[in-house]
């Protein structure tokens, strides 16, 4: 009997890494590894990393440090790093961390089985961070990883060409490529056949899907085709760049009944001067016009956003514009971040004169405003009967199930496991900060 080998994998960052990790799991299973929940019992430990902010990057070093004593106990342990920090740091990671065996970049996930074998057989230290050309990337687009979830991500594009001045993604993910629509639709059909009921089409900027590929359909047309696939009941997509949100795409929120009434539309700042300096490609007025149009086409829509606080040059007046934009839009949720200078980016060269105290104070004001706005929006669900797509057993335990409303809000409620995968009516009886508690309305 051959000994089964075990791997431990931890994933940080955005949906791109989640999809890459699904692929890593499938590739490692293909070479005889089984996933385990604790690094102590593994033969191979991997981190799939994010470097969007300095804090995220530092977290990687913290987590890697945990593997050092485990490796001291078990010298055969293979330690690897993938994802955006691996792409950014490459050889420097191997130089800094003597217990590290392999580093694979964002275009090199497919090489992992060979790298692992090389370490197993030769105790070699391996590095693969080469960017691949467009055709190779299109050929290597993520395989369909099997799974049991009701809701799955489907990659429609990789990379980013926008070069927002603060952002490291174009440097660690490479140029934008769109996957052929025929393949995207095949994958959605396959997933529907596997019992998937909701797909989220993902990319750093899905709105520009297909624009750079000759003869490709637009993202709005792609949504129309996904809508026609039997078995799929709900469609979401992320992320949307406001500068590329076409009228055709806005109209989808009125025309496609499977498209959920939620849009994540990161604004980053409410000040034209800061938006310009961020290289975002839209003005406050243009953004607000889009929001108005969305609400006209779909009055029930709820919006969420990302906002950066303390970008270099942000004055009190600029910040006040961000707060006033938030009041005007009334976001259901905002993910707010303190600006973090990233290597290679254009903004890293800008003078950052704001004191940490002022940034922190603005951050606090923004969060306070958002919390009151979120609370009033979610409170409107109290007592309503909402359609919930049941995804699985709730983390709350007690035999509860959880699912999501069209607005992507988690609802916990009691019901039979047979309901997983169905859309059921649930009356909302309690509204908490991050989820709802409800009663199933069928017996």
Residues making contact with ligand SAH (CB under 6 A) = 52-53, 166-167, 169, 204-205, 239, 241, 266, 268, 306, 308, 337, 339-340, 342
Nearer to ligand SF4, 49 or 204 (CB): 204
36-44, 164-172, 284-292, 433-441 -> range binding ligand SF4 (CB under 6 A): 164-172
Nearer to ligand F3S, 56 or 350 (CB): 56
Rounded to the nearest angstrom, the gap between the alpha carbon of residue 228 and the centroid of all alpha carbons in its chain is 25
C-alpha distances out from residue 22 to 45, 103, 147, 157, Å: 15, 18, 9, 16
Q: How many CB atoms lie within 10 A of CB 138?
A: 16
Q: State the nearest-atom distance from the C-beta of 177 to ligand SF4, in Å.
A: 14
Applying CB under 6 A, which of residues 47, 86, 160, 431 lies at the interface with ligand SF4? 160
Q: State the nearest-atom distance from the C-beta of 283 to ligand F3S, in Å.
A: 26
170 binds ligand SF4 (CB under 6 A): yes
Q: State the nearest-atom distance from the C-beta of 288 to ligand SF4, in Å.
A: 19
Applying CB under 6 A, which of residues 169, 347, 377, 428 lies at the interface with ligand SF4? 169
Q: Which residues pair with 426 in a beta bridge?
A: 386, 440
Tell which residue, 313, 322, 319, has the closest CA to residue 346: 313
Edge to edge, the sheet with strand 234-238 lists 151-155, 198-202, 234-238
Query: What count of residues does the chain have?
Result: 443
Nearer to ligand F3S, 173 or 409 (CB): 173
Q: State the nearest-atom distance from the C-beta of 29 to ligand SF4, in Å.
A: 30
Applying CB under 6 A, which of residues 205, 238, 340, 408 lies at the interface with ligand SF4? 205
Nearer to ligand SAH, 21 or 268 (CB): 268
Binding partner of 170, given ligand F3S, ligand SF4, ligand SAH, none, CB within 5-8 angstroms per partner class: ligand SF4
Nearer to ligand SF4, 242 or 415 (CB): 242
Nearer to ligand F3S, 20 or 318 (CB): 20
C-alpha distances out from residue 48 to 24, 34, 62, 97, 208, Å: 9, 17, 14, 16, 26
H helices present in 32-111, as ranges:
54-73, 83-89, 91-96
Q: State the nearest-atom distance from the C-beta of 277 to ligand SAH, in Å.
A: 13
Q: Burial level of 368, CB count in 10 A (0-12/13-18/19+)?
A: exposed
Nearer to ligand SF4, 238 or 412 (CB): 238
Tell which residue, 189, 179, 254, has the closest CA to residue 209: 179
Applying CB under 6 A, which of residues 162, 370, 374, 435 lies at the interface with ligand SF4? 162
Nearer to ligand SF4, 78 or 265 (CB): 265
Compute the Cα dihedral for 308, 309, 313, 314 and give only its sign. positive
Which residues in the 228-247 window bind ligand SF4 by CB under 6 A? Answer: 241
Q: State the nearest-atom distance from the C-beta of 239 to ligand SF4, in Å.
A: 6
Instruction: Tell me the three state secondary structure of residue 322.
Output: helix
Binding partner of 163, given ligand F3S, ligand SF4, ligand SAH, none, CB within 5-8 angstroms per partner class: ligand SF4
Binding partner of 337, given ligand F3S, ligand SF4, ligand SAH, none, CB within 5-8 angstroms per partner class: ligand SAH
Nearer to ligand F3S, 64 or 192 (CB): 64
Q: Which residue number has the CB closest to ligand SAH?
A: 306
How many CA atoms does the CB half-sphere of 385 hold within 13 Å? 6
Nearer to ligand SF4, 39 or 170 (CB): 170
Q: What are 258's two structure tokens?
A: 């499977």
Q: Which residues lie below 8 Å from residue 401, measured CB to CB, with a gap of 6+? A: 390, 392, 393, 394, 412, 413, 414, 415, 417, 419, 420
Which residue has tokens 């050092």? 68
163 binds ligand SF4 (CB under 6 A): yes
Give contact residues for ligand F3S (rule: CB under 6 A): 13-14, 16-17, 50-52, 83-84, 168-169, 172-173
Q: State the nearest-atom distance from the C-beta of 319 to ligand SF4, in Å.
A: 19
Q: Which residues pair with 7 in a beta bridge?
A: 35, 44
What is 241-304 written as a DSSP string? Answer: -GGG--HHHHHHHHH-TTB-SEEE---B-S-HHHHHHTT-S--HHHHHHHHHHHHHH-TT-EEE
What is 203-242 written as a DSSP string? Answer: -TTGGGTTTTSTTPPPHHHHHHHHHTSTT--EEEEE---G
Residues of the shown chain interacting with ligand SF4 in the complex, contacts defined by CB under 6 A: 160, 162-164, 167, 169-170, 204-205, 241
């Amino acid at each position: 009997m051959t000994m089964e080998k075990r791997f431990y994998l931890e994933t940080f960052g955005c949906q791109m890494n989640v999809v890459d990790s699904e692929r890593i799991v499938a590739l490692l299973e293909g070479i005889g590894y089984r996933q385990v929940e604790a690094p102590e019992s593994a033969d191979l430990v991997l981190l799939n990393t994010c470097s969007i902010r300095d804090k995220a990057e530092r977290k990687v070093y913290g987590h890697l440090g945990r593997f050092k004593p485990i490796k001291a106990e078990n010298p055969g342990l293979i330690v690897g790093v993938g994802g955006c920090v691996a792409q950014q740091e490459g050889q420097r990671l191997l130089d800094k961390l003597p217990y590290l065996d392999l580093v694979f970049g964002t275009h090199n996930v497919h090489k992992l089985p060979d790298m692992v074998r090389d370490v197993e057989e030769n105790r070699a230290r391996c590095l693969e961070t080469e960017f691949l050309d467009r055709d190779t990337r299109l050929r290597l687009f993520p395989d369909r990883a099997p799974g049991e979830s009701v809701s799955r991500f489907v990659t429609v594009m990789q990379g980013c060409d926008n070069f927002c001045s603060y952002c490291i993604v174009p440097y660690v993910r490479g140029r934008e490529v769109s996957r052929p629509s025929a393949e995207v639709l095949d994958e959605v059909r396959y997933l529907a056949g596997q019992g998937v009921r909701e797909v989220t089409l993902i990319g750093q900027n899905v709105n520009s899907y297909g624009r750079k590929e000759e003869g490709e359909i637009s993202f709005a047309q792609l949504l129309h085709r996904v809508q026609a696939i039997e078995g799929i009941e709900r469609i979401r997509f992320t992320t949307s760049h406001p500068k590329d949100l076409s009228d055709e795409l806005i109209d989808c929120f009125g025309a496609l009944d499977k498209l959920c009434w939620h849009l994540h539309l990161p604004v980053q700042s409410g000040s034209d001067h800061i938006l310009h300096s961020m290289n975002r490609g839209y003005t406050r007025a243009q953004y607000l016009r889009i929001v108005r149009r969305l609400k006209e086409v779909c009055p029930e829509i709820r919006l969420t956003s990302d906002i950066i606080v303390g970008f270099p040059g942000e004055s009190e007046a600029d910040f006040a514009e961000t707060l006033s934009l938030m009041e005007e839009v009334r976001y259901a949720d905002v993910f707010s971040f303190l600006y973090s200078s990233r290597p290679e980016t254009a903004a890293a060269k800008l003078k950052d004169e704001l004191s940490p105290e002022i940034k922190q104070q603005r951050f606090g004001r923004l969060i306070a405003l958002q919390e009151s706005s979120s609370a009033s929006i979610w409170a409107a669900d109290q007592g309503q009967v909402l359609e919930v797509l049941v995804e699985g057993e709730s983390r709350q335990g007690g035999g509860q199930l959880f699912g999501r409303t069209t607005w992507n809000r988690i609802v916990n409620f009691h019901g039979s496991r047979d309901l997983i995968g169905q859309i059921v009516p649930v009356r909302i009886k309690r509204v908490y900060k991050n989820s709802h508690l409800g009663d199933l309305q069928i017996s």
